[in-house]
Amino acid sequence: MTKYEKDRLLEPRFVFKATAVNHISYGVSDSARSRDFYVELFNMDCVYDDGKSCYLAFGRPRRVICISESTRPGKKPFVDHVGFSIRGFDMKVVKAKLNRFGLAPKSEGDYAFSLLDPDGYRIQVCAEKGVFPETVAHETDGTGGKNTRPGVFKASAVNHIAYHVADYARSRDFYMDLFGMELRFEDGKKCSVAFGEPEDAIYITPSRRPDKKPCVDHLGISIKGFNLLTVEGELKRLGLNPEPDGDYAWTIFDPDGYKIQVCAEKGVFPGAALVGR
């Protein structure tokens, strides 16, 4: 048990207030191919591209998918880490609080610290302006101009991050306490915690892996003006073979075979948003 876990038994607390998913670091086999897929499907803005990696921004406040070449065997796709924006970021204050709870923060420039969650998964605590504010401030395609082709849909937020862990309750408490996230759904086996406006969420479920190693199973992307049949038609037209996921989402696979859900802004399970309110 970490010092943070021991402390929360005595005094549950909200250390910071998360306002959005700052960024998702995503490893792929071909960054240009993935860049084009996400830009053209979700109308994301390519705000940085050096030929090996790129940053795709969307929504207000800005969320970013940072795409780079996978370091896994066979260039298997994976989410390396997730950054969370917090309100009122101050380097000295944030560092002091993280150290106080034994979370061993590592500086990532002037606007972020990285640390490990209870499962050893790396996350970042970030300023709302972003880790690299000079890039996300501009909505360009990396060459100084706007994206040349409009996307099929308009991404507005990270609907959810499906996170698999060894102990869902332990992870629930960690993220609620550290980031002031609010419980939206829980059934004794899994839960959803939400934060920000518009809301982003983390769906926390037990890992199905024999070693219980944590992983991000899939990402849900909210789009504006979601209509179940219209979205299905567009996805089929693009040859993406959408799989149904209730009345508010379709599941597809990106060029690397990574699972993505195209979701209504109200969420995949809109009734869950009423829990805890």
Assigned domain for 151 exists: no
d(CA 271, CA 184): 9
Do 11 and 94 share a structural domain?
Answer: yes
- Residue pair 125/99 in contact by the 8 Å Cβ criterion: no
Length of the chain: 277
Task: Give the end of a domain, one of 80, 101, 136.
Answer: 136
Do 112 and 197 share a structural domain?
Answer: no
Q: Residue 242's closest CA among 211, 263, 225, 224?
A: 263
What's the structural domain count of the chain?
2
Do 261 and 196 share a structural domain?
Answer: yes
Look up the CATH number of the domain holding residue 259: 3.10.180.10
pLDDT in tens, 107-144: 999 999 999 999 999 999 999 988 876 655 444 434 33
Assigned domain for 147 exists: no
Domain of residue 63, residue span: 3-136
Do 12 and 73 share a structural domain?
Answer: yes
pLDDT in tens, 21-58: 999 999 999 999 999 999 999 999 999 999 999 999 99
pLDDT of residue 143: 39
Task: Give the end of a domain, one of 136, 166, 198.
Answer: 136
Backbone φ, ψ for residue 226 (5° rounding) = -60, 130
Helix 3-10 to helix 168-179 angle, to the nearest 10 degrees? Answer: 80
Do 185 and 122 share a structural domain?
Answer: no
d(CA 95, CA 111): 11
Contacts 24+ apart (CB under 8 A), 226-233: 226/262, 226/263, 226/264, 226/265, 231/153, 231/262
pLDDT of residue 10: 58
Do 112 and 13 share a structural domain?
Answer: yes
Give the contacts of 57 (CB within 8 A, at least 6 positions apart). Answer: 44, 45, 47, 63, 64, 136, 139
Strands (E), the chain: 18-28, 45-49, 53-58, 63-69, 78-86, 106-107, 112-116, 122-127, 155-165, 182-186, 191-195, 200-206, 215-223, 243-244, 249-253, 259-264
Assigned domain for 256 exists: yes
Radius of gyration from C-alpha coordinates of the chain: 18
- Residue pair 130/136 in contact by the 8 Å Cβ criterion: yes
Do 124 and 10 share a structural domain?
Answer: yes
Assigned domain for 142 exists: no
Assigned domain for 149 exists: no
pTM flag (> 0.75): yes
Do 268 and 177 share a structural domain?
Answer: yes
